[in-house]
Structure 1
């Protein structure tokens, strides 16, 4: 028996996921569905709901493999034994796609385990008879203690995680290749390797390059990029430069993608260069407009599927974006292992350099960074990125001090 997670879109745009068994694919599993509906749905995003169900899925897979029925046990007044909790934790920690014996990260395990603990606590409260008696309360408390004891200590401290953020950057080789790609799309004849490509291929190439350039120039997240609509692109006017408007868009009724890309941060406007403005206009008017079934109203998404077929003209998905990035990296090996979030880290590094050139105070820099990244005031992330630039300046100063030990020239 296998279990499947399926995602649906409600009439008003709400995303929700349900867990199904292969034995009865037409009806979702009752208790996981009830738990999500009653305890999770009203206070959590769809992504959180999905993560919760993935944890519960690992629990019911363990039940299947061990021939245990937790619902039946609890209904009889029997809680999980310590050895069962140990075995369950080992099952959840095992890595599904790797070689036997390999395990998932502590962070990932804790995410699944937290969902499992909350679900078991809820299920116990629902099914356990006489749960308010002193004896039953003792059993419930001991089960909860045993479950919580399996939460793993994080292998990396917060300081180490911040250090990893600070060291994430786009290499000079990758940056050079990106700038070449950005420049090549401005050429009306395209670069040499594109001159003989079909009109359709040129459209895909321009779309992919424009998406990367937006990430590079604005530091926005991938979900924010894929959520951009025609109305969010504002052309230069009256002496004001062009910009993109990022909106909070959870459960967008106009977005028919089941796994909806969403903006995790606050809404904001981000400036773009004149060259990028021209490239976006070129993509929208010369290539996007020719696609079948493409939306042309202000609420239509900018970046669409170009491949012929029934999905042509629909908004590109997260997987579609990842595939497009991989195609570019295969075609241009100099892009290396460049990942979407590296653009955000790199933008913050360049922002610090520019703030330094402009003589901005640290407070001014933090406030401006928070606004452009969509963070709330006093965000800890703004301080982390400021620390990155301070570290580099301190290193340069220390290097000059170290050079003072050189023997002076005669």
Structure 2
């Protein structure tokens, strides 16, 4: 039998909240670490909470320290003995921060159900949760390799587009229908800035050929999706206009290639597995998409490190330049970017994805300032002569 409260939490809070599969898996890993910690120390959090005993300060410190180490097999938890020369490995600060954040929320969920309700109980639970979050590692705000550098150069992007052209001699796959599918996926990612999960979640009915638009729809736990790990849209749903050429390419793929794949007509997902076998005709999985990107990256050294998210960064960079060229205000630009990428109007993500453009603007401003300073110095030297 599964553990009752972790299962209840995942069902009601995580799955009920429509979170992505990877987010749920990471949360389960954090809760697993919590249960490993209590097993190591020989007590149960549930029993403690039922007795009105919340975690004490030294226990929170112990939990914090325990969450710095990787999870180890259960049989090794039976003893506190460790070899003196044994190398101590630790998880990254980001992983520890995530673990403690999830555990703080889970313990709040648990305490609110098990701790006897009294006038002071809510305040005590709040204090415990606050203490756990205060013990999370400080986030390093210094750059670890700017996220804005995660983009594709125009020359590389043009070379990839040419290589993916159906019938190209440099195409990394041999099957022509798969070439058409891969080229279309790449074009949509490049043209819209979608995430891969949003791309793989597209259904034929999401496209309006009359209005020339595509809808990005959140479909967590869809009963029509046969994939074990269902890709979901992390951002808000939205409608995106598409050029006629892209709509024609979508229509051509559906009618001339997808329609000929066995079992593809049993669901509405646009991109399917073409290869013969058990998964033929089923919606393309994350693993299948990853294989496509790996084949592309391995096809030539110039494409090494190419991945889908780089296209999202590139879209944002090009969007920033377009807004500058059109004289759009910064506030309006942020509203438009958030609308097209499915972020809330208060999201900080536009600033994250706009760093590359801002860096270029700052560099240009720095050069302009230097030219002014040098110009003044030359003028003064001329006057002194």
If the TM-score is normalised by the length of the shorter chain, which range does it land in?
0.7 to 0.9
Q: Does 1:216 align with 2:190?
A: yes
Residue 396 to residue 141, structure 1, CA distance change in 2 (3 Å): closer
Residue 248 to residue 402, structure 1, CA distance change in 2 (3 Å): same
How far the C-alpha of 1:301 sits from its partner, in A, is 0.5
**Alignment equivalent of 1:103, drawn from 90, 94, 97:** 90
1:228-247 correspondence runs (5 A): 228-235=202-209, 242-247=212-217
Q: Does 1:192 align with 2:177?
A: no
How far the C-alpha of 1:145 sits from its partner, in A, is 6.4
Q: Which moved more, 1:81-90 or 1:281-290?
A: 81-90
Q: Does 1:61 align with 2:36?
A: yes
Query: Residue 371 of structure 1 aligns with which residue?
Result: 339
Matched position secondary structure for 2:67: helix
**Alignment equivalent of 1:180, drawn from 162, 165, 188:** 162
C-alpha distance in structure 2 between counterparts of 1:383 and 1:62, whole Å? 38
Deviations 1:206-252, CA, capped at 9 Å, x for gaps: 322321221111101111101111122344x5xx7x44322232333
TM-score, with structure 2 as normaliser: 0.77
Residue 96 to residue 334, structure 1, CA distance change in 2 (3 Å): farther
Matched position secondary structure for 1:264: coil
C-alpha distance in structure 2 between counterparts of 1:267 and 1:138, whole Å? 37
Structure with bigger strand share is 1
Query: Residue 82 of structure 2 aligns with which residue?
Result: none
C-alpha distance in structure 2 between counterparts of 1:399 and 1:139, whole Å? 57
Conservation of the 8 A alpha-carbon contact between 1:208 and 1:325: no
How far the C-alpha of 1:283 sits from its partner, in A, is 2.8
C-alpha distance in structure 2 between counterparts of 1:141 and 1:194, whole Å? 57
Matched position secondary structure for 1:371: helix
Conservation of the 8 A alpha-carbon contact between 1:352 and 1:389: yes
How far the C-alpha of 1:319 sits from its partner, in A, is 2.5
Deviations 1:321-364, CA, capped at 9 Å, x for gaps: 12221121112332221232221111011112222333434344
C-alpha distance in structure 1 between counterparts of 2:326 and 2:127, whole Å? 60
C-alpha distance in structure 2 between counterparts of 1:176 and 1:291, whole Å? 30
Where in structure 2 are there 5+ consecutive unaligned residues?
73-85, 380-385
Q: Does 1:280 align with 2:250?
A: yes
C-alpha distance in structure 2 between counterparts of 1:72 and 1:266, whole Å? 40
Residue 139 to residue 279, structure 1, CA distance change in 2 (3 Å): closer
1:241-390 correspondence runs (5 A): 242-295=212-265, 300-383=268-351, 385=353, 388-390=356-358
Residue 100 to residue 385, structure 1, CA distance change in 2 (3 Å): same
Matched position secondary structure for 1:295: helix
Matched position secondary structure for 1:93: coil
Where in structure 1 are there 5+ consecutive unaligned residues?
1-26
Residue 234 to residue 181, structure 1, CA distance change in 2 (3 Å): farther
Conservation of the 8 A alpha-carbon contact between 1:207 and 1:283: yes
Q: How many residues align?
A: 362
How far the C-alpha of 1:267 sits from its partner, in A, is 2.6
Q: Which moved more, 1:324-333 or 1:379-388?
A: 379-388
Matched position secondary structure for 2:138: coil
Conservation of the 8 A alpha-carbon contact between 1:219 and 1:348: yes
How far the C-alpha of 1:100 sits from its partner, in A, is 5.3
Residue 96 to residue 333, structure 1, CA distance change in 2 (3 Å): farther
How far the C-alpha of 1:262 sits from its partner, in A, is 1.6
Query: Residue 116 of structure 1 aligns with which residue?
Result: 103
C-alpha distance in structure 2 between counterparts of 1:213 and 1:193, whole Å? 17
Conservation of the 8 A alpha-carbon contact between 1:173 and 1:334: no
C-alpha distance in structure 2 between counterparts of 1:42 and 1:285, whole Å? 36
Query: Residue 76 of structure 2 aligns with which residue?
Result: none
C-alpha distance in structure 2 between counterparts of 1:78 and 1:126, whole Å? 13
Q: Which moved more, 1:41-50 or 1:115-124?
A: 41-50
Deviations 1:41-86, CA, capped at 9 Å, x for gaps: 5556364554432221111233445554444555677655655544
